[in-house]
Amino acid sequence: MEYRHLGRSGVRVSVLSFGSWVTFGPQLAGNLARDCLAAAYDAGVNFFDNAEAYAGGESETIMGAAIAELGWPRHTYLISSKYYWGIEDSINTKNTLNRKYLLQAIDGSLRRMRHDFLDLIFCHRPDPSTPIEETVWALHDIIESGRALYWGTSEWSADEIVEAWEIAERHHLHKPVMEQPQYNLFIRDKVEREFASLYDTTGLGLTTWSPLASGLLSGKYIDGVPERSRATLSGYEWLREMVTDGDSNRKVRALKDIADELGVTLSQLAIAWCASNPHVSTVITGASRAEQVRENLTAVDVIKRLTPDVRERIEAIF
Ligand code: NDP
């Protein structure tokens, strides 16, 4: 495994990490979830991503129970959660980053995850109805209280990140360290264009999501929708349309020729491509079974094989 600094911070994360969206709860629990986490940890993963809203809190409960069972020493891994959508049904706890919500939500995560503190916490989306200053102070206070170590954002605009960073700078508060944007061969704009100046100015780190575009880049949807795949899950119909798109699957089929030539799988190539961007601190992978985890994490050995020539051919397809 390779480890990279999380932006300008001193902490280092495995370049490939593991997250639980969709899978923990709807697809996996108990031993199966534990096996995925163990496979990732054994391959050198030290960052495990989660969110309050995943399966309405159940994803945090499953991960917390599995980590307790696995008995990992606390200093060997980082865990995260994210806040915005809220899981309590009340006026101040939905679609918000207000101070009251944030300071209570973290306690719910700690209880479900069975931890005294989380390593990384994220604002899961921007909240235009709460002043950014209120949110920055709330995140600062959570960190000061010892319940989290670093904070960041997810799917914020560059302007919003800079505003938060400048408020923190002005008041000597804990600054946002990392952003969690989608990044894969289909979705590239934020990472490659919008955030371009922030890597130097604010020292932004990236924990990127959906390297396989929910499985599309694994090639599993080239010939239809396989049984037990994410696209068959009820509640994810919007995703089925995206992963079965004809034009996208034609590109994936063309990418397969390059993967075959390199002797790697499509998933390994697509994940390695994300990790080959030096601004990416960690690529958060997802998997519905331990075999996928093992396959995906060997992508770390494929990064160095993305020569300028290979990259150019990939560019030509996408
Ligand atoms: P991917 O795009 O990599 O999709 C993962 C899914 O693809 C798996 O669950 C599995 O689904 C399928 N898959 C994975 N590996 C293989 C393989 N080798 N062969 C065939 N199919 C495979 O990542 P996710 O969309 O899961 O995102 C990763 C993480 O990013 C999440 O867990 C979460 O932590 C984070 N995230 C953050 C978001 C945010 O807003 N901040 C939003 C979304 C994700 P199946 O087998 O069921 O088909």
Q: Is the CB of 80 under 6 A from ligand 1?
A: no
- Atom 25, ligand 1: which residue's CA is nearest? 210
pLDDT at 79: 98
pLDDT at 69: 97
Q: Is the CB of 190 under 6 A from ligand 1?
A: no
**Tens digits of residue pLDDT in 145-188:** 999 999 999 999 999 999 999 999 999 999 999 999 999 999 99
Phi and psi torsions of 4, nearest 5°: -125, 150
**How many other CB atoms are there within 10 angstroms of residue 291's CB atom?**
12
Q: How far from 106 is each of 17, 98, 223, CA to CA, in Å? A: 22, 13, 43
- The residues of the chain scoring below 50 in pLDDT are none
Closest Cα partner for 24 from 16, 33, 37? 33
- Atom 29, ligand 1: which residue's CA is nearest? 19
In ligand 1, the atom with minimum distance to the C-alpha of 208 is: 30
Secondary structure (3-state) at 230: helix
In ligand 1, the atom with minimum distance to the C-alpha of 23 is: 9
The CATH architecture assigned to 3-215+277-304 reads Alpha-Beta Barrel (3.20)
Q: Where are the domains of the chain?
A: 3-215+277-304
- Atom 44, ligand 1: which residue's CA is nearest? 209
pLDDT at 200: 97
Give the span between the Cα atoms of 20 and 64, in whole angstroms.
12
pLDDT at 19: 98
Contact by Cβ (8 Å): 165, 176? yes
Q: How far is the CA of 23 from the centre of ligand 1 (A)?
A: 8
To test ligand 1's pocket by mutation, which of 13, 16, 18, 21 has the most ligand atoms within 8 angstroms of CB? Answer: 21
pLDDT at 160: 98
